[in-house]
Structure 1
C-alpha cells in the first residue's frame, strides 16, 4: 500500500500541514516519513489493514501520512478527512466534557452518582462518586454490560441491581458501564443530555467539525468501513451507553487538532483550557500507569515494555490494585499520555508528550492488536527525540 500524499503533494501541501521553512521542513518530513513507514507498514501487511491514517505532531507542526483504502473491498483512498470509529478513545472526550462541566460549576467530581440520577439513591452504585466512575474505581463494574441490557429502563435496572464485590475506590477495573454512567450523569448535570452537550458544546469549542457521534448523511461518504475478523465490511453496533464509552467517530485532521489542544491548550477559551488541564491530573496509580480522566499516563521516556504492560489485556480485563493520589498529581516533568480505542472493525491509538511537544495519532479500519499500535507509536515518538 502506498502512502498518500506523495512526496510531490506533500511539498505542495506544506501550508495545510502546518509546516514552515520549506527547505528545512522537507528534509524533516522525509525523516519522519521514513520512521512512520518503518513503524506501520509491517503492521499493515501483517494484519491485513485496508487503510490507516497517521499524524505526527512535533513542535507545532503536523505531518499527515495516509495509507490504503477506507474499506476492505473497493472504497476510496484514506484522506485526512476520512472518518474512523474511535472506540474507547471516545472516553477522553467524555472525560473532557465532565471536566468542563466541573469548571463551569455544573457538577463536582466528588458528588455521588445519586445526586444526578435520583433513581440510584439507596443502591450501592448511587454512592459512587463521579470521580470513581470516571477512573474505573466505582466498586468493580465489569468491562461490558451483560447481554440483554438495553434502553434507559434496562440500564437503570442493571445499575440498581449491581452488587459490588468491593467498595468505591478500592481498585481499578476498566469498564464501559463505569465511564458510560459518568457520561450520562454529566449530560444530566448539563441539562440537555450527553449527546447534545457533546455535539453542541464541547466539540464546537474545540473546533472539531469532523468529530461526531452519529454520522450525518452529508458526511456518510467520508465514513470508512471497518474490517471484521473474516475480512467483511463492518461498522459499530449500537449498545448501552455507547456514545459515552466508545461511540465517537473522527478524522485524522480533527484528532490532530484534539492532540494539539492537549500539547498546548494556551489558545483555548480559559474554561476549556482548565478542563483540558484537569484531564491531565493523575488520580490513581494502578500497575504501570497513572489513571487520569480518560488519559493514562507514564513518566517519559518510557520503556516499551512498560507501555505494553499498561495497554495489555490484563489491564483492560482484570481488576487492579489502585492507590489514590490525594491531592491529584500534576504531571512531574515529561509525561506521556495515551489511550487506545477499538470497535469490531477499527483500531486507534493516540500518544503525546506535552513537555516535548510531540504526539502521534494512529487510526485504522481494522481492530489490530494493541501491542502493535503501541510498538508503532513508541518507535515514531522515539525517532523524534
Structure 2
C-alpha cells in the first residue's frame, strides 16, 4: 500500500499499516490563536461544547467510517463522544470507552522508554546500531539511535518492502513475524539515503529500537513499557498484545473494503496477529488512556527536562521529533502527539505543550473519505468553530 498522503490538510486515513497520521498540515495563519478556557465554565457552555464534539464525531462517520470515538479534555472538564456501530449489521452503538489498535502511536511509548534509558545512563542516543545489534543492519556503525528515533537513518520501511496491500495481507493475517524477519525485509533493499542527510518515515527504525531496548534491559520492550509507563500511570486499557489476535474488552470492529474485485464488501479485520507491527505499532489502548499518557509525557512526569526537550525538537523542515510530532493548527496553536494506522483502525492524539488541552480519537475507516471531517474535528476542538469555520 502506498504511504499515507496529505489530502485536504489531513494525511489520508490509511486502510493498511502505513504511516497513517491524522494531524493537519501547517498553516500560514496564526492570528486566530485562542486563549485557554478558564478553570470554570457555565453549564450551558459545557453542554454546547459536548454537542459540538458529538456533531463532529457524527460527521466523521457520515463521511466514511463505521465507528468513531473521541475524548477531549480542557480546563472546563472532559467531553466524550461516539458515533457509528460496534459491528456492521448489528444495532449496538460504538462504545465510547472502547479499546482499539493504536498503530504507530505505539512509537511514542517506545521512544519514551528509550529516552528514560538514556537518562539513566544505560545507553546514549549517539550509540550506533552496530553497538547494540552487531551485524543486523548494513552500515549500522554509521547509524545512531537518535537517527532511528527521528527517522533520519535512511533504512527502508519494511512495510513498503513487503508491498503490503489488503489483498496480500489478508491470507497471512494470523502469521507470526519475528523482529529479525521484518528488519531483514528492509535491509535487503538499498538505503534510501546516507544516515542523517534526509528524513523518511520507516517502521523498521522502531522495530530496531525495540530490539535495542531488549539488549539494554534484558527484558522485552513490551515489558519495559508496562513497567515504566502503563503501570505507573494506571493505564488499565493499554497493552502490547504480543501475538494475541483479539482485542479484549469493549471495542468497535475494524473493516477493509476488500471483497471481490470492484466491490466494497466489508471484511472484518478486527482479529489479527499484531506481530507484523511489532514495536512500531502493535499496541492497544483507549482514548482516556492516551490522553493520560500524553499529558504525563509533555508535562515532564515521564522524562527529565533534557530528554523531553530532545523529544520535542523536530527535524528541520519536518514535524517529527524523537517519536513525537509537533503540528501548528490553522489558529496558530501547536499540538504534540502521534498518529497511527493499522488495518481497520486509525488513531489521532493531540496535546498542547502544557498538557491542559488533549484530544484522542479512534476511527474505523471503511468507505468514502472522512479526511475533511477529521480535520474539522481537530480544528474545532482546539481552535473553536468561529476561528475555523466549517467548509462549504
TM-score range, shorter chain: 0.7 to 0.9
Deviation at 1:281, TM superposition (A): 2.2
Q: Any conservation in 2 of the 1:53–1:64 contact (CA below 8 Å)?
A: yes
Once residues 205 and 293 of structure 1 are traced to their aligned partners in structure 2, the CA distance between those partners, rounded to angstroms, is: 22
Deviation at 1:206, TM superposition (A): 2.6
Q: Any conservation in 2 of the 1:60–1:357 contact (CA below 8 Å)?
A: no
Residues 370 and 140 of structure 1, relative CA distance in 2, 3 Å threshold:
farther
Which of 225, 228, 235 is matched with 2:256 structurally?
228
Deviation at 1:83, TM superposition (A): 0.7
TM-score for both structures, normalised by structure 1: 0.74
Deviation at 1:278, TM superposition (A): 4.4
Q: Which sections of structure 2, spanning at least 5 residues, go unmatched?
A: 1-37, 164-175, 258-264, 388-392
Q: Any conservation in 1 of the 2:245–2:274 contact (CA below 8 Å)?
A: no
Q: Any conservation in 2 of the 1:349–1:374 contact (CA below 8 Å)?
A: no
Deviation at 1:162, TM superposition (A): 4.4
What RMSD in Å do the two structures reach over aligned CA positions? 3.3
- In structure 1, what is the equivalent of residue 45 of structure 2? 28
2:54 aligned with 1:37, yes or no?
yes
- In structure 2, what is the equivalent of residue 337 of structure 1? 336
Deviation at 1:138, TM superposition (A): 0.5
Residues 70 and 242 of structure 1, relative CA distance in 2, 3 Å threshold:
same
Q: Any conservation in 1 of the 2:57–2:82 contact (CA below 8 Å)?
A: no
- In structure 1, what is the equivalent of residue 194 of structure 2? 167
Deviation at 1:115, TM superposition (A): 1.3
Which of 281, 284, 287 is matched with 2:312 structurally?
281
TM-score for both structures, normalised by structure 2: 0.73
Residues 361 and 144 of structure 1, relative CA distance in 2, 3 Å threshold:
same
2:320 aligned with 1:291, yes or no?
yes
2:64 aligned with 1:64, yes or no?
no
2:81 aligned with 1:53, yes or no?
no
2:285 aligned with 1:250, yes or no?
yes
Residues 296 and 76 of structure 1, relative CA distance in 2, 3 Å threshold:
same
Q: Which piece of structure 1 moves more, 104-113 or 346-355?
A: 346-355
Q: Which piece of structure 1 moves more, 136-145 or 336-345?
A: 136-145
Once residues 217 and 298 of structure 1 are traced to their aligned partners in structure 2, the CA distance between those partners, rounded to angstroms, is: 33
Residues 115 and 103 of structure 1, relative CA distance in 2, 3 Å threshold:
same
1:213-234 CA distance string (max 9 Å, x none): 2187997242432122233321
Deviation at 1:144, TM superposition (A): 1.7
Residues 263 and 102 of structure 1, relative CA distance in 2, 3 Å threshold:
closer
Deviation at 1:57, TM superposition (A): 1.4
Q: Any conservation in 1 of the 2:238–2:285 contact (CA below 8 Å)?
A: yes
Once residues 89 and 152 of structure 1 are traced to their aligned partners in structure 2, the CA distance between those partners, rounded to angstroms, is: 18
- In structure 1, what is the equivalent of residue 33 of structure 2? none
Deviation at 1:109, TM superposition (A): 1.1
Residues 134 and 253 of structure 1, relative CA distance in 2, 3 Å threshold:
same
Q: Any conservation in 1 of the 2:157–2:204 contact (CA below 8 Å)?
A: yes
2:227 aligned with 1:207, yes or no?
no
Q: Any conservation in 1 of the 2:60–2:370 contact (CA below 8 Å)?
A: no
- In structure 1, what is the equivalent of residue 13 of structure 2? none
2:215 aligned with 1:188, yes or no?
yes
Which of 81, 85, 93 is matched with 2:97 structurally?
81
1:68-88 CA distance string (max 9 Å, x none): 332223374333431111111
Once residues 200 and 82 of structure 1 are traced to their aligned partners in structure 2, the CA distance between those partners, rounded to angstroms, is: 23
Q: Any conservation in 2 of the 1:136–1:179 contact (CA below 8 Å)?
A: no
Once residues 382 and 351 of structure 2 are traced to their aligned partners in structure 1, the CA distance between those partners, rounded to angstroms, is: 8
Residues 153 and 243 of structure 1, relative CA distance in 2, 3 Å threshold:
closer
Which of 125, 135, 145 is matched with 1:130 structurally?
145
Secondary structure of the 1:146 match is helix
Once residues 247 and 55 of structure 1 are traced to their aligned partners in structure 2, the CA distance between those partners, rounded to angstroms, is: 22
- In structure 1, what is the equivalent of residue 361 of structure 2? 362
Residues 152 and 345 of structure 1, relative CA distance in 2, 3 Å threshold:
closer
